[in-house]
Amino acid sequence: MDISLNFLQPGQIVSLEHGDRNLYAEVIQFVVSRQLCWVRPLLMVTFIQESPLISDLRDASDLLWPANLFRPALDTEVITFLSQVLAKEPKTEPDSAAKQQLNQFIHQLWQAYQ
C-alpha cells in the first residue's frame, strides 16, 4: 500500500484491515524516520452476515504500527460506526472483552505480516 503523508496527519482516522475485521484508529503522530504510525484505537468492526459487530476501543492502549499497513478511512464508512459508539453511555469500567479482541487482532496481524 502506498502511503501518502497527506493522510498521516494528527486527528486523521485510518483503518487497519485483517480478515473480516477493521480497526479504526486516530493518528496521533507519524514517525517518519521509522515509517511507523502512532495511533489511538477508536473501534473495531467485525463484519458478520446479519450486521456489523462494533467494539468500542476508546479506552484501549495506543499502538505504534507500520504505516504502510494503514489506509485512510473514508468519512462515509466510519461515521455510522462512530455515531453508534458515541451514542452509548460512557463505561465506568474498561471493556476487557474489547481489549482482548484488539490484542487477538494485533497478534493475528503480526503473524500475517512477519
Residue 74 lies in a domain: yes
Over residues 31-52, the pLDDT tens digits come to 989 999 999 999 999 988 888 8
Q: How confident is the model at residue 4 (pLDDT cuts 50, 70, 90)?
A: low
* Helix or strand (DSSP H, E) at 83: helix 75-87
Over residues 65-106, the pLDDT tens digits come to 999 999 999 989 899 888 888 877 666 566 788 889 899 999
pLDDT value at residue 1: 46
CA neighbor of 12 nearest in space, from 84, 61, 73? 73
Residue 49 lies in a domain: yes
Q: What is the rounded distance in angstroms from the CA atom of residue 60 to the CA atom of residue 101?
A: 11
| Predicted TM-score (pTM) above 0.75 | yes
Here the cell at position 104 is: 487477538
pLDDT value at residue 93: 64
Residue 108 lies in a domain: yes
Residue 45 lies in a domain: yes
pLDDT value at residue 41: 95
Residue 1 lies in a domain: no
Range of the domain at 76: 12-113
Q: Domain total for the chain?
A: 1
